[in-house]
Homo-oligomer: A and B are copies of this chain.
């Protein structure tokens, strides 16, 4: 609620609620939301207070957007690709298979009009969106058996959701929906053959390497997924301009918090996974090529029925082509040499 009209007071006292799509156990995803509300409070000397609720405390995690659209809460912290059931266009704001890496996704949203275009799209859902986090490139998950060629994917039961699940279905995988706590027993019993989660820091806590030791990379469906804040559009429009700026700047701080915290914690997560029996395996080019082909087929199918999706996908792909034209020069070769010389430093 806004205590007094914005015109009369530029820094009014405001109390909001933010519902998260993440449980507290995903402490880097949920933690970035904590940092966000803390920054907003500090920057306003406590005048703008946002109370942060974990998934399930007000509404389940996947209903965060609806709760915001409808005004149950003023805002949420969520990932746009959870809402592909409403419109597959949502996925492109976060990450799609073979999309942009984390920095490129930010460059597309902030420097190439992506964020403005999505906010046009979001209007019919009565929300305003801006980034609050990115996980960096994720892992491909744990597999009970090695998979070497695309043929090995046939009939493979894998815990994977959303548009990535649709891509994998095209190459023979049978996508499964399971909540986090159900994954370990399902892999142990062999009810499922594989499961993807996030990256080493979060993955290690599930202990999956003990029951499905082959840990594949990269998670080609999430090269750099952007996490968003969504604000009820009426509430956004009622905010003083200063508070709109404060929310967006806090979004930048929380984005950098999330990605740097994952970068700092993933190495130790990976070490623990390897120590508990996990074995790293790269997806073969045969598998990646088959999935890349399936991905482009899916985009053509969706695009034939959905003009917004088609336009936004073409925009992202053109940007991606430009980005990797440059990325392959300085950034990639810097990393190449540093990886090569890592143990000699």
Instruction: Give Cα A46 to B339, complex, Å.
Output: 47
CB-CB nearest in chain B for A289: B341
In the complex, the answer to whether A267 meets B39 with C-beta atoms within 8 Å is no
In the complex, the answer to whether A260 meets B103 with C-beta atoms within 8 Å is yes
Instruction: Give Cα A322 to B322, complex, Å.
Output: 31
The majority secondary structure among interface residues of chain A is helix
Instruction: Give Cα A326 to B255, complex, Å.
Output: 20
Instruction: Give Cα A116 to B280, complex, Å.
Output: 35
Instruction: Give Cα A263 to B296, complex, Å.
Output: 25
Q: In the complex, which residues 241-271 of chain A have their Cβ closer than 8 Å to any Cβ of chain B?
A: 241-242, 245-246, 248-250, 252-253, 255-257, 259-261, 263-268, 270-271
Chain A interface residue count, CB cutoff 8 Å, equals 88
Q: Which residues of B contact A266 (CB under 8 A)?
A: 326
Q: Which residues of B contact A224 (CB under 8 A)?
A: 334
Instruction: Give Cα A98 to B282, complex, Å.
Output: 26
Given A270-B326, A333-B282, A342-B325, A43:B246 Cβ within 8 A: yes
Query: Could you tell me the distance in whole angstroms from the C-beta of A121 to the nearest C-beta in chain B?
Result: 20
Of the residues B246, B270, B329, B335, contact of A101 by C-beta under 8 Å: B335
Instruction: Give Cα A83 to B68, complex, Å.
Output: 49
In the complex, the answer to whether A338 meets B324 with C-beta atoms within 8 Å is yes
Q: Which residues of B contact A250 (CB under 8 A)?
A: 249
Given A45-B241, A280-B329, A321-B342, A112:B264 Cβ within 8 A: yes
Q: Which residues of B contact A93 (CB under 8 A)?
A: none
In the complex, the answer to whether B101 meets A103 with C-beta atoms within 8 Å is no
Stretch at the interface among A13-21, A49-57, A179-187, A214-222: A214-222
Instruction: Give Cα A265 to B137, complex, Å.
Output: 23
Query: Could you tell me the distance in whole angstroms from the C-beta of A229 to the nearest C-beta in chain B?
Result: 14
In the complex, the answer to whether B98 meets A341 with C-beta atoms within 8 Å is yes
Q: Which residues of B contact A112 (CB under 8 A)?
A: 264
In the complex, the answer to whether A10 meets B45 with C-beta atoms within 8 Å is yes
Q: In the complex, which residues 92-128 of chain A have their Cβ closer than 8 Å to any Cβ of chain B?
A: 98, 101-104, 106-108, 110-112
Q: Which residues of B contact A327 (CB under 8 A)?
A: 335, 339
In the complex, the answer to whether A334 meets B101 with C-beta atoms within 8 Å is yes
Q: Which residues of B contact A137 (CB under 8 A)?
A: 330-331, 334
Instruction: Give Cα A199 to B330, complex, Å.
Output: 9
21 interchain pairs (CB within 8 A)?
A44-B242, A101-B335, A103-B259, A103-B260, A107-B259, A110-B257, A137-B331, A217-B333, A218-B329, A218-B337, A220-B334, A246-B246, A249-B252, A249-B253, A255-B256, A282-B333, A288-B341, A292-B345, A317-B345, A321-B342, A332-B339
Question: Beyond A43-B246, A324-B342, A335-B335: 9 further Cβ-contacts under 8 Å?
Answer: A39-B249, A45-B242, A101-B331, A111-B261, A218-B333, A246-B249, A249-B253, A270-B325, A288-B341
User: Residues on A close to B: CB < 8 A?
Assistant: 10-11, 39, 42-45, 98, 101-104, 106-108, 110-112, 136-139, 199-200, 217-220, 223-224, 240-242, 245-246, 248-250, 252-253, 255-257, 259-261, 263-268, 270-271, 280, 282, 285, 288-289, 292, 296, 317, 320-345
